[in-house]
Amino acid sequence: MAANDALVVIAGGGFGGLYTALAMADRRPHPPILLIEPNERFLFLPLLYELLSDELRSWEIAPRYDALLAGRGVAWLRDRVVRVDAEGHRLQTAQGRDLIYGRLVLATGGRPESFGVPGVKEHSLGFRSLADVERLQELVQRLRLERRPLQRLAVIGAGPTGVELACKLADLLGETAVIELIEQGSELLASGRSFNRDQARAALQRKDVRLRTHTRVLAVEAEALELSHEAGAGNGPRRETLRVDGVIWAAGSSASLPELHPIPALGSGGRLRCNDDLSVEGLADVFALGDGALALDDEGRVLPTTAQVAFQQAELLARNLLHSLASEPLESFHWNDLGEMISLGVGNASLTGLGVTLAGPAAFRLRQIAYLARLPGLPHQLKVAAGWLSDLRR
């Protein structure tokens, strides 16, 4: 076996990639593992709203990779994979490195999708990075200080990100701005649980968030949105120009992948079609998981793009990588739906799953504790828990 035949390269250190690396590193012995990730810090995205509202601190939800991986037997290269030649088992990085791997994991996640709507990139904010949180905090601060009449923020997309963000923003801005939550479908949280949907609807009403369903964004401009209201039977769509002080785009995402050769089969959202052992269809010795992978549950339904899915896939993939290197049969992935939790403003949440249905401050605490147990690595979990305990004593 040549020197690199056993090297497992993991592209992307988010939920899928980092947890695969950590799960493999827990096995003794394990093959050499190289994580390629351009960012300095892992980001625990489900708690990003609490960073925006200052309920949590950045070191808690965004630990540094060098601290997480110290002494774990995982090498980290701060770089980005730009091209993969699956037949040659080679990859190239943005900084010009050329590497040969034995097994490759594509865990490069997703990116915001504009769906071709003009002006999204130029005039709206996203919400999936530390830089996005900073930009949004600056906007909130500006609106609080300026206090001009009829200040308005628009959040586009009433999926989980849009709903959770609208609730936090409403709490942060109070009466200084109106929050418009704009959804082209007929319902908020369309694929969510009915209990959480009811709780979310009630929370939005309490906070005076204006939910507009059946409303499509045609264009985003510097200080306005062009909207089309898809009216009921008999009436054609009605257009409206809505003046806004800021737009946050939370309308959906698509897979973010490096250039791949040979070009593999892609499914909805540009996601890689995967076999049930998480190997990528048509690319030998390449595996994928998380938001960039299109995998199915036992009933053949497409799995959602959630951290919960990526986390469970990581455990299985770590085992399958070892099986694959040992030429053993691979295991199939079986999704275990543990339920759904959403935050609904400062100190408030709703959750349902595993026999528990709860809303309000108790749900908020339970959600934080559940996520504490999911933070990467025991040392980091203990450090965060110690911080929370000392906060309670103050």
Ligand X SMILES: Cc1cc2nc3c(=O)[nH]c(=O)nc-3n(C[C@H](O)[C@H](O)[C@H](O)COP(=O)(O)OP(=O)(O)OC[C@H]3O[C@@H](n4cnc5c(N)ncnc54)[C@H](O)[C@@H]3O)c2cc1C
Nearest distance, CB of residue 332 and ligand X, angstroms: 20
The residue type at 376: P
- Length in residues, the chain: 394
Q: Among residues 7, 9, 16, 120, which is the contact residue for ligand X, using CB under 6 A?
A: 16
Residue 306 interacts with ligand X (CB under 6 A): yes or no: yes
Full DSSP string of 217-233: EEEE-SSEEEEEE--ST
Residue 364 interacts with ligand X (CB under 6 A): yes or no: no
Binding mask 43-62 for ligand X (x = CB under 6 A): --xx-x--------------
Residue 11 interacts with ligand X (CB under 6 A): yes or no: yes
Give the tokens for residue 394: 């103050």
Nearest distance, CB of residue 202 and ligand X, angstroms: 19
Q: Where are the alpha helices (H) located in 187-273, listed in sequence order?
A: 194-206
Binding mask 119-158 for ligand X (x = CB under 6 A): --------xx------------------------------
β-pairing verdict for 356-360 and 349-353: antiparallel
Are 51 and 91 within 8 A, CB to CB? no
| Residue closer to ligand X, measured from CB, 199 or 308 | 308
Q: By C-alpha distance, which of 168, 192, 32, 7 is closest to 101?
A: 7
| Residue closer to ligand X, measured from CB, 39 or 357 | 39
Are 363 and 343 within 8 A, CB to CB? no
Which residues in 64-151 belong to E strands, given as ranges?
74-77, 81-85, 90-93, 98-100, 103-106, 110-112
User: Burial code of 235-270, b = ≥16 C-beta within 10 A, e = fewer?
Assistant: eeeeeeebebbbbbbbbbbbbebbebeeebebbebb
Could you tell me which residues are beta bridge partners of residue 358? Answer: 351
Q: Among residues 13, 102, 376, 377, which is the contact residue for ligand X, using CB under 6 A?
A: 13
Q: Among residues 8, 9, 17, 279, which is the contact residue for ligand X, using CB under 6 A?
A: 17
| Residue closer to ligand X, measured from CB, 15 or 209 | 15
Residue 295 interacts with ligand X (CB under 6 A): yes or no: no
Q: By C-alpha distance, which of 184, 245, 237, 238 is closest to 220?
A: 245
Q: How many residues bind ligand X (CB under 6 A)?
A: 32
The residue type at 358: L
Q: Among residues 53, 108, 348, 350, which is the contact residue for ligand X, using CB under 6 A?
A: 108
Residue 254 interacts with ligand X (CB under 6 A): yes or no: no
Nearest distance, CB of residue 231 and ligand X, angstroms: 32
| Residue nearest to ligand X as judged by C-beta position | 14
| Residue closer to ligand X, measured from CB, 203 or 227 | 203
Residue 161 interacts with ligand X (CB under 6 A): yes or no: yes
Q: Which residues bind ligand X (CB under 6 A)?
A: 11-17, 36-39, 45-46, 48, 80-81, 107-109, 127-128, 161, 256, 258, 290-292, 305-308, 310
